[in-house]
Structure 1
Amino acid sequence: MLESNISERWHSDEPLDLMTLALDVVESLEGPAARDEAERELFALERALAEELEDMIAPLHLLPCLYDGLGFAGDSDTFFSVDNCLMNRVLARREGIPVSLGILLIHLCRRFGVDAEGINFPGHFLVRMWSEEEGAVIDPFTGRQLPRHEVELLLRGARGNLARLTPEHLKGTSDTEVLVRLLNVTKAAYINQQQFGQALACSELLLRLKPDCPFERRDRGFLYEQLDCGKLAADDFEFFIEHRPDDPIADVLKAQIAGLDLSPKTLH
């Protein structure tokens, strides 16, 4: 019932805000109690921020209130951790990574009447906050406004020294695409912790958003393989091969299928 309710919400005609989507992920992966706790933490944060912003005179004043006054920060020590991805844990710990802190920042901006949008920047999620006519590019990991040369450094760190910043890199993205990025990072964190069942749950959520994406089906196949579900893995690999026959990995997957145990297995 839980999964069907989330699926119905995600495919309804009613627009869902970004925080609702992130909390749906929490509910799906950790249960309704975790979502309830996250909502309580979020409500308390909004009240505290409202007090901090009582005399706010400019949109960018939200940043020092959130990062300095209320203690939110990027977690550099355990960056690649599920704790930094799931919103209930981010709110409880007041630490996260760029995409999770970015979702929180966008939510709070909108809550307090500041226009904001996500930027799916290579290697490092960014946020644009609008102050009068100009948009300021914010690093949600640090809460700092970034000048152009620092954005260029981020791009070179992700794409190499020959990369050149273009307007396309700083194009705003939809809330759904931000959710896709969060789910991909969360899935990778679970894989890093060898929690393949939870990674598979992330993959299933991604396929609710992009059911016909051959790359998502391929990735789910690898997770099924890790869970010794050879027949399910083969089905996903065959889907990829059928839809991307010229992709170099198609031949690799054919060899993978040949080595799979295709007897039925039950996932628990």
Structure 2
Amino acid sequence: MQRFPSDDKALSLPETAFELCQYLGFSEIKQVQWAWYELSGAVLSRYLFDEELRYAALLKWFYQDLGFCEKAEYFSREAADLGRCLQSRQGNSTTLATALMLLGQELDLKTELILLPGTTVMSCQLAGEIHYVDPLTGQSLNREQLHALVRGELGNWAPMKDNYLKPASAKQVLTRMLHELKAGCIIERKFESAMECCSLLLDWYPDDLNLHRERAFIAQQLGAIQVATADLQYFIDNNPHDPIVELVKMQLQELGEETQVFH
């Protein structure tokens, strides 16, 4: 049975993000809920009749008055935790953009998240025109700058695809958060938590071959050789023509030489 529903309609922001991080043992839901209630109540004082002035007031309040900014340890687990971001007012592009989007919605602004490769930006529709903002700085972004972000992640050859600018669903945002939490855990060598992040993602995307390969790596760090072996074999069986399959077969052979350690 899935620990969290896979139906997008059953997922919500920020509630599900708070629940996920408490489930993973990263933050206490009551504390982060109070931080959210305080911010979502305070932002209403920026409710101006003119929509464009309201948007400008939101950005000034968020970045200048409250001081939300990029966390120095950008790839850390804490930067990827939405609750921690609300409390410390520091985060990565996804947590900052999510906080800004949600506060914009409290002001009846048409704010949404755009999941570019490697980074997240916020969009806001004003008078029929879409405005994009860099969540790390609060600065406006044009299409050329958005393309530069894509090229920075994928290489100079990468085109700017229209689907990159499609607004993200709650499930897509939560998926990115879980990937970023997992990456932070791996960097900090918290492999048990990384394994749980991977398992939660596999609840939602059981056929994702790359997730199975990632879980195999994490399981190996934990000494769970049987789990790692099963995931690598699943990758090979379901992706026999992938260019890296020979490398995966070598990994599988090496695992067969290791001793199972139970945790």
The TM-score with structure 2 as length reference comes to: 0.90
Aligned length: 259
Q: Residue 36 in 1 paired to residue 54 in 2?
A: no
Q: Secondary structure in 2 aligned to 1:161?
A: coil
Give matches, 1:63-102, under 5 Å: 63-75=59-71, 77-102=72-97
Post-superposition Cα deviations, 1:126-146, rounded to whole Å, max 9, x if no partner, equal 121111211111111112221
Displacement after TM superposition at 1:203 (Å): 0.5
**Pair 1:248-2:246 in alignment:** no
Letter in 2 for 1:55: L
* Deviation of 1:109 (Å): 2.2
Q: What are structure 2's unaligned runs of at least 5 residues? A: none
**SS at 1:46 equivalent:** helix
In the TM superposition, residue 57 of structure 1 has moved relative to its aligned partner by 2.5
Whether the aligned pair in 2 keeps the contact of 1:72 and 1:94 (CA below 8 Å) is yes
Aligned match for 1:192, one of 187, 197, 208:
187
> The residue matched to 2:112 in structure 1 has which SS?
strand
Deviations along 1:2-42, one digit per CA (max 9) or x if unpaired, are xx7xx4652458432231221122111126x7111110110
Residue 203 of structure 2 is matched in structure 1 by: 208
| % identical equivalent positions | 28
Q: Measured at CA, do residues 178 and 231 of structure 1 come closer, stay the same or move farther in structure 2, by a change above 3 Å? A: same
Q: After superposition, what is the alpha-carbon deviation per residue over 1:214-236, rounded to whole angstroms, capped at 9, x for unaligned?
A: 21111111100111111110011
User: Judging changes above 3 Å, is the alpha-carbon distance between structure 1 residues 258 and 156 closer, same or farther for their aligned structure 2 residues?
Assistant: closer
- RMSD of Structure 2 on Structure 1 (CA): 2.1
Question: 2: distance between equivalents of 1:196 and 1:147?
Answer: 39
2:43 paired residue number: 49
User: 2:3–2:200: 8 Å Cα contact kept in structure 1?
Assistant: no
What do residues 100-130 of structure 1 show as CA deviations (whole Å, max 9, x unaligned)? 1112122222233222222111222112111
C-alpha distance 94-235 of structure 1, shift in aligned 2 (>3 A): same
Letter in 2 for 1:23: F
Question: Given that residues 221 and 234 in structure 1 are in contact (C-alpha distance below 8 angstroms), is that contact kept between their aligned partners in structure 2?
Answer: yes
Query: TM-score, normalising length from structure 1?
Result: 0.88
CA distance in 2, matches of 1:9, 1:201: 12
Residues 201, 13 of structure 1: alpha-carbon distance in 2 compared, 3 angstrom cutoff:
closer
Partner Cα separation in structure 2 for residue 257 and residue 166 of structure 1: 37
Whether the 8 Å contact between 1:83 and 1:90 is mirrored in structure 2 is yes
Q: Are residues 1:231 and 2:258 paired?
A: no
Q: Match of 2:137, SS? A: coil
The alpha-carbon deviation at position 178 of structure 1 amounts to 1.5
Q: Unmatched 5+ residue regions in structure 1?
A: none
Q: What is the SS of the residue equivalent to 2:122?
A: strand
1:14-29 superposed matches below 5 A: 14-29=9-24
- Structure 1 residues 155, 8: closer, same or farther in 2, change over 3 A? closer
SS in 2 for 1:136: strand
Could you tell me whether the CA contact under 8 Å between 2:8 and 2:169 is conserved in 1?
no
